């Protein structure tokens, strides 16, 4: 007697997985420390989570093949975003699409150095980024009285599984949606 096997097509859902990883990162201590050799001395360049936002964002993006590598700075993360096919979208007062990468303006923490900030937009007015006081990713309003949004980035790969209606909304939100990025 033969056995009948049901064959199912399994398709990886990038946007759903990506948003789940971001949301599940809240409170995680795994991005708190990043060590480098500075003048021959092993140093926690993220200052026990105070400066971990770029490490958090770039690590999540790298895990899902949306960036090339993890980074210690917002500047190098932005460079990687652009090299990895992320497109800057206009800041026009509308809420970003869930999954957008947000870059807030630089501020001084009192150490006479300007520090940028980067995180993710997850929808409903909420962003997730590393909290410099707790040293872990936290959910918070995407608009802040302390920092203005400087850049918003979107990756075309995140649009691939959207419905036609969502695709239209993406087209209205982004600059050329389909660029020369190949899978």
pLDDT digit string (tens) for 111-165?
Answer: 778 889 999 999 999 999 999 899 999 999 999 888 899 999 999 999 876 544 4
Residue 176: both structure tokens together: 């050329």
Q: 35 with 44: CB under 8 angstroms?
A: yes
Mean pLDDT for the stretch of residues 50-67 = 95
Q: Whole-model pTM?
A: 0.81
In terms of Cα–Cα distance, which of 128, 107, 112, 114 is closest to 20?
128
d(CA 171, CA 80): 23
Asked: is 14-157 a CATH 3.30.230 domain? The reply is no
What's the confidence (pLDDT) of residue 149? 94
SS3 128: strand
pLDDT in tens, 28-47: 999 999 999 999 999 999 89
Which range, 10-19, 77-86, 91-100, 113-122, is most confident?
77-86
More confident position, 2 or 57: 57
Q: What whole-number percentage of the chain has pLDDT above 90?
A: 64
């Amino acid at each position: 007697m033969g056995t009948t096997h049901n064959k199912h097509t399994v398709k990886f859902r990038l946007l759903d997985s990506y948003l789940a990883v971001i949301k599940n990162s809240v409170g995680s201590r795994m991005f708190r420390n990043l060590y480098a050799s500075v003048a021959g001395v092993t140093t926690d360049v993220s200052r026990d989570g105070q400066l971990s936002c770029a490490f958090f964002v770039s690590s999540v993006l790298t895990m899902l093949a949306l960036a090339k590598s993890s980074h210690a700075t917002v500047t190098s993360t932005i460079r990687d975003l652009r090299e990895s096919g992320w497109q800057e979208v206009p800041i026009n007062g509308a809420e970003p699409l869930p999954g957008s990468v947000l870059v807030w303006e630089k501020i001084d923490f009192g150490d006479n150095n300007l520090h940028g900030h980067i995180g993710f937009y997850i929808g409903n007015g909420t962003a997730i980024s590393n909290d410099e006081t707790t040293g872990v990713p936290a959910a918070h309003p995407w608009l802040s009285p302390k920092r203005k949004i400087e850049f918003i980035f979107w990756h075309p790969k995140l649009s691939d599984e959207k419905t036609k209606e969502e695709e239209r909304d993406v087209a209205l939100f982004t600059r050329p949606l389909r660029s020369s990025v190949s899978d």
